[in-house]
Structure 1
Amino acid sequence: MIRNPIDIATRVSPNLSALIESRVNDPDAEQPITLATVRTFVAGLLPAAFTEVEQLHHFDIDASLLDELDALIEEYGEDALAIDFAQNTASEPLSRVIDAVINDENRQNPPTLETIREAIASGLPARLVGDGVLEDDEDDALLGEIEALIRRYGADSLAEEFLRYE
């Protein structure tokens, strides 16, 4: 398998990145997950009549993901590891949580992903909702997201490296 530089993930749409992440993290998926594996999965989601032009506009997201995958496969090859194309940034709500922990004046050291997990588990998102930093529904998935980042990058990774600014 050929490993690609991490910065190629910045060229991948958030939808495709999330799809790749879900395939890579699927315990039932065969390993290793390549671009060809992801393409086969996406193609399997499309209706059989996909080739009919009138069907295309009903499935823009899937068709565009397939087009995006085809372009990546053309450039990097079908055996390229899919994980290299997944973005390694936090969602916007998680970025706001990380930012709040980084800017805590009582903090001595830069926070790690584990520090952020502990802050989430200790109720920081509820306080941020109360302060208007997060919306009510934005705090639901934070714990799962930080735990996925910890599984992938390790608890001691610096949280600021995952900040996403939009």
Structure 2
Amino acid sequence: MIRNPIDVATRVSPSLSALIESRLNHSEPEEYITLLIIRDYVTGLLSAEFTEAEQIHHFDINESLLDELNALIEEFGETALAHDFVQNSASESMSRVIDAVISNREYDNPPTLEIIKQAIVMGLPASLVGDGVLDEDEDDGLLAEIDALINRHGADAIAEEFLRYE
């Protein structure tokens, strides 16, 4: 199996990344999980057992995830390793939000993912849009992204560890 030379995880939504990571966590260490295997997994979750599977996995499984997965398969092939598509850092816009919270001297300890979520809920992204730090469309997916990071890494994870500098 050949790994992708570019950071393809940056092209994956937080929800699909979390779903892939969940599937990888339930596989054998020597097992190669490809995008085709992930597509079969998602298709199975969308089947008749959809309601039960959604309750078990706590993911918002819907057709758009399958569409996103199909687009990735079209671009990178069915045999691309799924591991390459798991995000281990925040998006550029989330990194700006984290940086803004870190820069705020209000906190004695490094901010956690939960503190970042609170800042998002309290309107920090709108303030950053007003300041020109974020574009208007960049704040749309921040709550879903922080929820995905919290689901995967825990609310107490140090937010700075997820910064991505470009």
Aligned match for 2:33, one of 31, 36, 47: 36
The reply to whether residue 24 of structure 1 matches residue 20 of structure 2 is yes
Alpha-carbon separation, structure 1, partners of 2:4 and 2:150: 18
How far has the Cα of 1:148 moved from its partner? 0.6
The reply to whether residue 65 of structure 1 matches residue 61 of structure 2 is no
For the residue of structure 2 that corresponds to 1:36, the secondary structure is coil
Give the conservation status (yes or no) of the 8 Å contact 2:120–2:142: yes
Partner of 1:53: none
Distance 1:122 1:9, change over 3 A: farther
- Counterparts of 1:47-58 in structure 2, within 5 Å, are none
Alpha-carbon separation, structure 2, partners of 1:10 and 1:157: 28
Which deviates further from its counterpart, 12-21 or 120-129? 12-21
Identity %, equivalent residues: 47
1:26-76 deviation line (CA, Å, top 9, x unaligned)? 8xx8x836643532428xx9xxxxxxxxxxxxx99534421761xx4xxxx
Give the conservation status (yes or no) of the 8 Å contact 2:90–2:163: yes
The reply to whether residue 14 of structure 1 matches residue 42 of structure 2 is no
Q: With the length of structure 1 as denominator, give the TM-score of the two structures.
A: 0.63
Alpha-carbon separation, structure 2, partners of 1:123 and 1:95: 16
Alpha-carbon separation, structure 1, partners of 2:35 and 2:9: 15
Alpha-carbon separation, structure 2, partners of 1:86 and 1:10: 14
Alpha-carbon separation, structure 2, partners of 1:87 and 1:133: 23
Pick the structure with greater CA Rg.
1
How far has the Cα of 1:21 moved from its partner? 1.3
Aligned pair count? 132
Partner of 2:53: none
Q: Which segments of 5 or more consecutive residues in structure 1 lack a partner in the other structure?
A: 1-7, 46-58, 73-81
Alpha-carbon separation, structure 1, partners of 2:94 and 2:11: 19
Alpha-carbon separation, structure 2, partners of 1:149 and 1:137: 20
Moved over 4 A (4+): 8-12, 15-20, 82-85
Give the conservation status (yes or no) of the 8 Å contact 2:35–2:78: no
Aligned residue type for 1:165? Y
The reply to whether residue 140 of structure 1 matches residue 140 of structure 2 is yes
How far has the Cα of 1:86 moved from its partner? 1.2
Aligned residues: CA RMSD: 3.6
Q: Which segments of 5 or more consecutive residues in structure 2 lack a partner in the other structure?
A: 44-69
Partner of 1:111: 111
Alpha-carbon separation, structure 1, partners of 2:97 and 2:138: 11
Partner of 1:96: 96
